Amino acid sequence: MQSIPLHDMTDPLVEPKTLWQWLSAAVPGVIVADCRYRLTDPAAGYQLYQAGHIPGAYFLDLNRDLSGPPGVTGGGRHPLPDAAAFRRTMERLGLTPDHWVIAYDDEGSGAARLWWLLKFYGHDRVAVLNGGYSGWVEAGFPTSRDVPSERAGQWQPSPRLEWVTSYDVVASQRRHLTVIDARAPERFRGEVEPIDPVAGHIPGAINVPYQSLMSGPARFPEKDALVARLPVLSPSRPVIYCGSGVSACVNVLAFYRVGRQPVLYAGSWSDWISHPGALIERGEPKDHSR
């Protein structure tokens, strides 16, 4: 495959202008993935894709492609897909170790979920389109309704287990961990819970809503501005969770972009509350240092 002058692997973002340059020049080795979704309407993501998408983009469904089947013994609403299933998903897009994957959506978390999954499974050639689909359209670049044919890829996942953690680890070590909740403040405080059966947060967690790290729809600010929006933490790796391990990937990406490597509690709140005896806190964070 021809060598492609893409970009620094340490930067998880790519701008619409750059992606358009690659696509218009028919640069080989680029896979574009549309990850738009709506939690309350599982069909909405594909409907948006059908109405218009970046030319050549494949659609990846949050529930079918970027998650495993929910179980009754934990894992939350959006368990991680196992390696074999995710390999099949990505190989039908033509993925090989030499390919770059550019993920996009319209609000940040779907694309960040694909970015995280590929990084977790050992594929570093992945970036998120900064500004998402709306940024692409606003820049005046073309859209399409054509659905590309599936391709035959060859790729072997190699999980980085240090990127993920579990209920048992968080429950037993939470007093010694920095735990970050990426949900909206009212869900963190337990005032409302529109999705899960129990409201509240993990005791000792601090709230950094994923939306607070964005400067617009699916758009991240410059690094200096992003640093100012992130909490000052100890040198230890923070543990990040949300409702089901999707929007928390935005926070993971944000920390990664400024040189930190957090850990995703993949099952997140929906997994936490499925465990009998799980501790639950409501209201503002309390001091658990004593």
Q: Which of 48, 242, 246, 248 is catalytic?
A: 242
Cα separation of 56 and 31, whole Å?
Answer: 8
Q: Which residue is it, tokens 């890829």? A: 153
The residue among 172, 163, 64, 176 whose CA lies nearest residue 118 is 163
Q: Which two tokens stand for residue 88?
A: 């099949």
Are the C-beta atoms of residues 31 and 93 closer than 8 Å to each other? Answer: yes
Parallel/antiparallel/unpaired status of strands 58-59 and 13-14? unpaired
Is 242 labeled as catalytic in the residue annotation?
yes
- Residue 18's alpha-carbon distances to 42, 88, 104, 123, 129, in angstroms, are 31, 28, 14, 21, 10
Cα separation of 149 and 145, whole Å?
Answer: 13
Cα separation of 59 and 207, whole Å?
Answer: 32
Q: Counting runs of H as helices and runs of E as strands, what totals does the chain give?
A: 10, 10
Residues designated catalytic = 242
